Amino acid sequence: MLRYFAKRTGAAIATLLVLSLLIFAGSEMLPGDVAEVALGQSATPESLQALRLQLGLDRPAPERYLTWLSGAARGDWGLSVMTRVPVADLLTDRLANTTVLALTTAAIAVPLAVILGIFMAFNPGGRFDKAASSLVLAISATPEFLIATILVLLFAVYLRWFPAVSYFSGDASIGGIARTLALPVATLVLISLAQMSRMTRAALINAQDLPFIEMAQLKGLTRTRTIFVHAFVAVSGPIINVVALNLAYLISGIVVVETIFSYPGLARLMIDAVTARDLPVVQACAMLFCAAYVVLMMIADLLAMVSNPKLRSML
């Protein structure tokens, strides 16, 4: 297990290095001049040249990449072009807000999705399975912005139970924070719940054809024990992987939700930075998103290895 962990860690680091190169190259290919965007069209050639020198744009791209990479490894992402504030300071609050939103959603969606998927697989083709499958399939096919818009119209405009804008100050009460997060969390829960429950159902149904599941049924074990204990343990690896993918999505893929609800999270910060062509902020946000995917998938692989004796025997 230690060797496997070391290999996965090395692969994760190598993946992040490749991604950092792609992110830097992609941001370099964005159209427009950073200095002109920052200073405006009325800037003089002298001021533009001074800002380019200050940002290091006069140096070769490989040298700037190595400088940026070494600073990122130390937690120094440079200065924001637009605000001249350290990027690390901008990321701190936004990352905390996105983490709160993602963890709250995961704490609600993961257990609900697993339980729903188990009950759907308990009697495949039954009334509950057909109704639940149709519902989660409809939710999966519905765009995020449409779900968020419907929730805003229903609960914020007509019923006025929750605010349409998800913004809270540092001294807000727990009840105020809960009301503020209600609509974006509900949107993300519906999206994640549909995907994870379908995966859980499919994995459990496929597991029921495995030889040791059939043997358990022939020995007289109840269907409840067979599915909830033996089959669920056998398919825990794929379920853990889909949960990890959804958690990574909650960190990096909630751009639409944060935009609709004006939530001050990391994804919204990146959108604003792309609009303003603030490359240091764009690069830092993109690296954090990539790191979230890589780390969560590595954790999912390790958990799947620990939970499945067959996979452990292959080491």
Tell me whether residue 17 is in a domain.
no
Tokens of 175: 């009840």
User: What is the average pLDDT across 111-127?
Assistant: 82
- Separation between Cα atoms, residue 178 and residue 198, nearest integer Å: 28
User: What is the average pLDDT across 162-186?
Assistant: 75
Q: Are 77 and 284 in contact (CB under 8 A)?
A: yes
Tell me whether residue 16 is in a domain.
no
Given a cut of 70, whether residue 252 has pLDDT beyond it is no
Tell me whether residue 41 is in a domain.
no
Distance of CA 293 to the CA centre of its chain: 7
Q: Give the pLDDT score at 216.
A: 66
pLDDT range class, residue 1, cuts 50, 70, 90: low
Nearest alpha carbon to residue 102 among 271, 300, 253, 312: 253
User: What is the average pLDDT across 30-56?
Assistant: 66
Q: How many structural domains comprise the chain?
A: 1
Percentage of the chain lying above the pLDDT 70 cut: 75
- Mean pLDDT score of the chain: 77
Tell me whether residue 111 is in a domain.
yes
Of 20-34, 35-49, 78-92, 265-279, the one with minimum mean pLDDT is 35-49
Dihedral (C-alpha) 287, 290, 291, 296: value to the nearest 10 degrees? 160
Tell me whether residue 53 is in a domain.
no
pLDDT range class, residue 135, cuts 50, 70, 90: confident
User: What is the average pLDDT across 81-108?
Assistant: 82
pLDDT range class, residue 64, cuts 50, 70, 90: confident
Q: Give the pLDDT score at 315.
A: 54
Q: Give the pLDDT score at 179.
A: 79
Tell me whether residue 142 is in a domain.
yes
pTM: 0.75
- Separation between Cα atoms, residue 115 and residue 112, nearest integer Å: 5
Tell me whether residue 46 is in a domain.
no
Of 103-107, 137-141, 166-170, 175-179, the one with minimum mean pLDDT is 166-170
State which residues form the domain around 285: 87-313
- Separation between Cα atoms, residue 85 and residue 82, nearest integer Å: 8
CATH of the domain at 127: 1.10.3720.10
Of 91-95, 180-184, 235-239, the one with minimum mean pLDDT is 235-239
Tell me whether residue 184 is in a domain.
yes
- Separation between Cα atoms, residue 134 and residue 125, nearest integer Å: 11
pLDDT in tens, 294-309: 888 788 777 767 666 5
